[in-house]
Amino acid sequence: MSSSLITDFLHQAGRTAVIGGGLATELERHGADLNDPLWSAKCLLSSPHLIRQVHLDYLENGADIIITASYQATIQGFKAKGFSDEEGEALLRRSVEIAREARDLYYQRCAESSSDNGDDSRILKQRPILIAGSVGSYGAYLADGSEYSGNYGDAIKLETLKDFHRRRVQILADSGVDLLAFEAVPNKLEAQAYADLLEEENIITPAWFAFNSKDGTNVVSGDSIEECGSIAESCDKVVAVGINCTPPRFIHDLILLLKKVTAKPIVIYPNSGETYDGIRKEWGQNSGVTDEDFVSYVDKWCESGASLVGGCCRTTPDTIRGIYKILSSGQSPFSAK
């Protein structure tokens, strides 16, 4: 697909597009045990039906884009668990198949509902739906918290990162995703590695780069968001650039900084604002914002220039429904409460 994918998609949507919300935390809510270096990728093995259900939950709450359960799925990570390269590659492909199955099932339900006038709280609306293949950072594979610091040490060079990501990117691009989502990019070195890979491997699947920040000015490594955004802007394969896995309160300022260096559509899907302890592998209690507060930011983000909006860690189908409603009606979905 050409770089017009997102432009055409947004034109068809007629509004800001909605991205699904947190995957791992929803899987846990459905009973999955993710206490593992593979994190949500563990469910590709143990409970693919749960992944399909979470994708479906997001579609039925208004998402236009769902993101595969491959953020922490790496061939190297699977190998450490005793899988062969071939088995690891098959699991990556499976993450895409599951998302495609969820989309097909959703379209089937849309078709069935058109002849059923019964009351249904689900959003069953035939519309273009994109599947984004998630690519997590090198730090996500390490599962040592370095994805939240962006500090890989001096031993990790540009070529190291390109070699690490190359095969996974090729497989996801060839597995039927509509776009590649490079998520929670923590430093400009990894952004450059992704941009180089897309060019060198002549990946025709369009991509977005979503950086993560903890201060509203820089990505987590301390590199400026403007420098990082410039890398995305200069790569023809990148069709959108933005922020994910970042507290909502920082998003507005980050959008304004990105708009200085890129003319590409801005993609925004923050976390709930809760803090994650990468060492203890747990979320801080009561440190986030409510769905109502999260959704109250959405208008401001769109006014600032966001074209695609959703949620990341600890956001839920209810969060996504709130975003969908405010984007569809221009009114707070919580005002009647």
- What pLDDT, in 10s, does the model give residues 52-80? 999 999 999 999 999 999 998 999 999 99
What distance in Å separates the CA atoms of residue 205 and residue 153, rounded to the nearest whole number?
Answer: 31
Q: What mean pLDDT do residues 92-120 have? A: 88
Long-range contacts, stretch 292-298, CB < 8 angstroms, 24+ apart: 292/322, 292/332, 292/334, 293/248, 294/248, 294/270, 294/319, 294/322, 295/319, 295/322, 295/323, 295/326, 295/332, 295/333, 295/334, 296/332, 297/248, 297/251, 297/252, 298/323, 298/326, 298/327
E strand segments, the chain:
17-18, 65-67, 130-135, 179-185, 207-211, 238-244, 266-269, 276-277, 282-283, 306-309
With a cut of 70, say whether residue 285 has pLDDT above it. no
Alpha-carbon distance of 56 to 126, in angstroms, equals 14
Q: Determine the distance from the C-alpha atom of residue 253 to the mean position of all C-alpha atoms in its chain, rounded to a whole number.
A: 20
Q: What is the mean pLDDT of the chain?
A: 90
Number of H helices, E strands in the chain: 14, 10
Rounding to the nearest 10 degrees, give the CA dihedral for residues 199, 202, 203, 209. 10
| CB within 8 Å of 45: residues ≥ 6 apart | 38, 91
- Give CA torsion, residues 63, 10, 198, 39, to 10 deg: -10
Residue 336 pLDDT: 38
Most confident of 33-42, 79-88, 94-103, 269-278: 94-103
- Integer Rg of the chain from CA: 18
For residue 45, the model assigns a pLDDT of 85
- The DSSP line for 123-159 is -------EEEEEE--HHHHHTSSGGGT----TT--HH
Other C-beta atoms closer than 10 Å to the C-beta of 332 total: 16
- Give me the pLDDT at residue 4, please: 82
pLDDT band (50, 70, 90) for residue 2: low
Nearest to 166 by CA among 131, 199, 126: 199
Higher pLDDT, 173 or 335: 173
Mean per-residue pLDDT, 161-189 = 98
Q: Nearest Cα to 18, choosing from 314, 334, 302?
A: 302
203 has pLDDT over 80: yes
Mean pLDDT of 96-124: 87
Q: Annotation-wise, does 245 bind a ligand?
A: yes
Share above pLDDT 70 across residues of the chain, in percent, rounded to a whole number? 90
Q: DSSP for 293-331?
A: HHHHTHHHHHHHTEEEE---TT--HHHHHHHHHHHHHSS
pLDDT band at 178 (very low <50, low <70, confident <90, very high): very high
The answer on pLDDT for 119 being more than 90 is no
The pLDDT assigned to 31 comes to: 86
Q: Which domains does the chain have, with CATH numbers?
A: 2-329 (3.20.20.330)
Alpha-carbon torsion angle 153, 34, 312, 136, nearest 10:
40
Instruction: Give 64's DSSP letter.
Output: S
pLDDT above 60 for 335: no
pLDDT band (50, 70, 90) for residue 280: low
User: Is residue 312 annotated as involved in ligand binding?
Assistant: yes
Q: CA angle 295-299-303, nearest 5°?
A: 150
Mean pLDDT, rounded, for 103-108? 98
pTM of the model: 0.93
The Cα diameter of the chain in Å comes to 62
Residue 116 is predicted with a pLDDT of 57
C-alpha closest to that of 151 among 111, 203, 186, 195: 186
Q: Express each pLDDT in 138-169 by its tens digit.
A: 999 998 888 889 999 999 999 999 999 999 99
Please check if 302 is assigned to a binding site: no
Residue 49 predicted with pLDDT over 50: yes
